[in-house]
Amino acid sequence: MTYASAALESLGALGDPTRRAIFERLAAQPSAVVDLARGLPVSRPAVSQHLKVLKEAGLVREISHGTRRIYSLDPRGIGAMRRWLDSHWTSALDAFRQFADEYPEQEPDR
């Protein structure tokens, strides 16, 4: 999968308002399903289903704490967007360095 398409998939998963609400809550604080369901107008199974979609999109990850499963944001998901920009700036700065180093020193500005 390309960086760009991974980024698109991640962002597409956030198109659903409930998933977006879950995502925002997890951004504020890693939580268990029960905690997430408490603050949302949807059932626990529905929250679990949304978490599954977010997990598959690489946006959320799950860590076991004893018997509890704690969900938090997965930096890798949004990382696709970051890598997108990273690759973009790498080539832009490279182009700048080449341009600046070849630019005649004495030429008047503009």
Give long-range contacts, CB 8 A cutoff, 24+ apart: 70-79. Answer: 70/30, 70/31, 70/32, 71/26, 71/30, 71/31, 71/32, 71/33, 71/36, 72/26, 72/30, 73/23, 73/26, 73/27, 73/30, 77/10, 78/10
Of 17, 41, 66, 108, which lies in the binding site for other proteins, with binding defined by CB under 8 A?
Answer: 17
Task: Return the amino acid letter for 39.
Answer: G
Shortest distance, position 46 Cβ to other proteins, whole Å = 18
Of 27, 34, 46, 63, which lies in the binding site for other proteins, with binding defined by CB under 8 A?
Answer: 27
Of 64, 65, 66, 109, which lies in the binding site for other proteins, with binding defined by CB under 8 A?
Answer: 109
**Per CB under 8 A, does 87 bind other proteins?**
yes
Distance CA 22, CA 73 (A): 10
Of 42, 98, 106, 108, which lies in the binding site for other proteins, with binding defined by CB under 8 A?
Answer: 98
Binding site for other proteins (CB under 8 A): 2-5, 7-8, 10-15, 17, 20, 23, 27, 73, 75, 78-79, 81-82, 84-101, 103, 105, 109-110
